[in-house]
């Protein structure tokens, strides 16, 4: 039985089709074109006779002609996009391409601005800025102002490496448990709880570290490490506390905070990589007599290697650029030392500490540190992409 509301019966569907046919037809398009030309002529005529017309009439005619012209132009764009699919595709491609170029332009502008503002420091100190260990904006009388960035650069790499050393194995274990070992009824709640940690602001982590972790490190962890690992030849200097580090504001405390902060992001990306492994690979390994661990090691980990590496790089980028949480627990001391139990600083935390009172050459030096941090992040990401592609070629992917 025919649909009484269909096109044949003249129902709503038929009305919509007739309207679409009229809007998409050549006759309507010609009418629109003639109206657009007429409105453009009226607008130009009003503009040409503006000197002889009265003020009120001239303003009314100009506004009316301009509004009509704008309305017809917008309607014409809609008709063109609806009438020709190729034009709509080109418009969409141009729009997305413009968004991509805008993001690239933002990055280029940031680099150019940082370089131009820090150029006096770059020309004055050269490569010595990255090797010196003195930051003296107010030196004693008779001594010059000196700025260098080696302690901040060292602290950034040291703390980030420590955070990755602590956080990546924990993240890998969490991802493996949630995808391979956890009961089904626990997977979603546990994954939600882990990912919820990523929503906590960094200042909350910093306050927690300041009030809870720093006293615990000072009274329990640091003395235990100093009395045990600090006496082992070879690695003892890494666990020898300094006088400043006895307060608990140390590289190790900052590394622990950063490790906790990167775990949700890294484990979430690793979990997605593990879930992308075909189930057939797991079943094939189990059918050959492999244990659950052997199945994960031989089938899951090699297949998801690129995802694991991408998660590690993502966590490293988070650890390198973190500011507030590190400022509150690292001690903010501009020194270079091998001990995990000594205070220090990072590029981001040093900029945050010194920017409020910086001016002149000191501000230029801080901007040069920011430029170095930006370049370092780019180099890390480019190197990661290169290593991923090389590993893909070596495995035939």
Q: What is the pLDDT of residues 23-64, one digit of tens each?
A: 555 565 666 666 666 666 666 666 556 554 445 555 555 566
**Other Cβ atoms closer than 10 A to 250:** 31
Q: Taking the mean position of all CA atoms in its chain, how far away is CA 241?
A: 35
Gap between the Cα atoms of 138 and 131, Å rounded? 20
Domain 128-395 has CATH 1.10.3720.10: yes
> Could you report how far apart the first and last alpha carbons of the chain are, in Å?
56
Residues of the chain with pLDDT under 70: 1-69, 71-92, 243-246, 388, 390-397
67, 153, 253, 345 from 331: Cα distances, Å:
63, 15, 10, 7
pTM exceeds cut of 0.75 = no
**Residue-level pLDDT at 152:** 92
User: Which sign, positive or negative, has the C-alpha torsion 218, 219, 221, 223?
Assistant: positive
**What are the backbone angles phi and psi of residue 11, rounded to the nearest 5°?**
-75, -160
Gap between the Cα atoms of 387 and 394, Å rounded? 10
Gap between the Cα atoms of 96 and 369, Å rounded? 33
Q: Is 390 helix (H, G, I), strand (E, B) or coil?
A: helix
Q: Is 54 helix (H, G, I), strand (E, B) or coil?
A: coil
* Contacts for 249 with CB less than 8 Å, ≥ 6 apart: 214, 329, 330, 331, 332, 343
**Residue-level pLDDT at 210:** 92
Measuring CA to CA, which residue among 279, 139, 129, 265 is closest to residue 202? 265
Q: At what angle do helices 85-117 and 361-395 cross, to 10 degrees?
A: 130
Task: Judge contact between 334 and 153, C-beta under 8 A.
Answer: no
Gap between the Cα atoms of 345 and 39, Å rounded? 66
If you search the block for the tokens 């501009």, which residue do you land on?
334
Task: Judge contact between 351 and 367, C-beta under 8 A.
Answer: no
**Residue-level pLDDT at 247:** 79
Q: At what angle do helices 150-176 and 251-275 cross, to 10 degrees?
A: 40
Q: Taking the mean position of all CA atoms in its chain, how far away is CA 127?
A: 29
Q: Is 98 helix (H, G, I), strand (E, B) or coil?
A: helix
Collect contacts of 31-38 with beta carbons under 8 A, ≥24 apart. 32/72, 32/75, 32/76, 32/79, 33/76, 35/72, 36/69, 36/72, 36/73, 36/76
For the chain, the domains span 12-83, 128-395
Q: Which helix (H) or strand (E) holds 215?
A: helix 214-216
**What are the backbone angles phi and psi of residue 331, rounded to the nearest 5°?**
100, -25
**What are the backbone angles phi and psi of residue 36, rounded to the nearest 5°?**
-65, -40
**Other Cβ atoms closer than 10 A to 259:** 23
Measuring CA to CA, which residue among 111, 113, 148, 118 is closest to residue 345? 148
287, 301, 378 from 269: Cα distances, Å:
28, 13, 20
Gap between the Cα atoms of 166 and 27, Å rounded? 71
**Other Cβ atoms closer than 10 A to 99:** 10
């Amino acid at each position: 039985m025919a649909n009484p509301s269909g096109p044949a019966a003249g129902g709503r569907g038929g009305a919509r089709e007739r309207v679409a046919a009229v809007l998409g037809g050549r006759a309507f398009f010609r009418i629109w074109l003639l109206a657009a030309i007429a409105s453009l002529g009226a607008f130009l005529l009003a503009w040409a006779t503006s000197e002889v017309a009265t003020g009120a009439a001239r303003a009314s005619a100009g506004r009316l002609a301009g509004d009509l012209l704008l309305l017809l132009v917008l309607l014409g764009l809609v008709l063109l996009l609806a009438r020709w699919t190729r034009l709509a595709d080109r418009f969409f491609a141009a729009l997305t391409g413009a968004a991509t170029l805008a993001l690239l332009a933002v990055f280029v502008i940031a680099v150019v601005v940082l370089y131009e503002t820090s150029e006096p420091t770059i020309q004055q100190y050269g490569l010595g800025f990255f090797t010196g260990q003195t930051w003296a904006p107010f030196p004693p009388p008779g001594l010059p102002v000196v700025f260098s960035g080696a302690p901040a650069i060292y602290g950034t790499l040291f703390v980030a490496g420590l955070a990755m050393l602590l956080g990546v194995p924990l993240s890998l274990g969490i991802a493996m448990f949630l995808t391979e070992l956890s009961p089904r009824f626990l997977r979603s709640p546990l994954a939600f709880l882990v990912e919820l940690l990523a929503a906590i602001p960094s200042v909350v982590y910093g306050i927690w570290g300041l009030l809870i972790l720093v006293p615990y490190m000072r009274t329990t962890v640091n003395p235990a490490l100093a009395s045990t690992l600090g006496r082992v030849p070879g690695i003892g200097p890494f666990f020898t506390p300094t006088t400043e580090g006895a307060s608990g504001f140390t590289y190790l405390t900052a590394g622990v905070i950063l490790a906790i902060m990167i775990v949700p992001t890294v484990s979430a990306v690793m979990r997605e990589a593990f879930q992308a492994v075909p189930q057939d690979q797991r079943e094939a390994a189990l059918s050959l007599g492999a244990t659950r661990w052997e199945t994960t090691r031989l089938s899951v980990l090699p297949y998801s290697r690129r995802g694991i590496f991408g998660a590690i790089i993502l966590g490293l980028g988070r650890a390198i650029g973190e500011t507030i949480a590190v400022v509150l627990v690292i001690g903010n001391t501009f020194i270079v030392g091998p001990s995990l139990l000594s205070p220090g600083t990072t590029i981001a935390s040093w900029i945050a500490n010194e920017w409020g009172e910086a001016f002149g050459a000191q501000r230029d030096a801080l901007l040069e540190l920011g430029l170095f941090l930006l370049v370092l992040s780019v180099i890390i990401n480019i190197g990661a992409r290169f290593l991923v592609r090389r590993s893909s070629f070596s495995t035939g992917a």
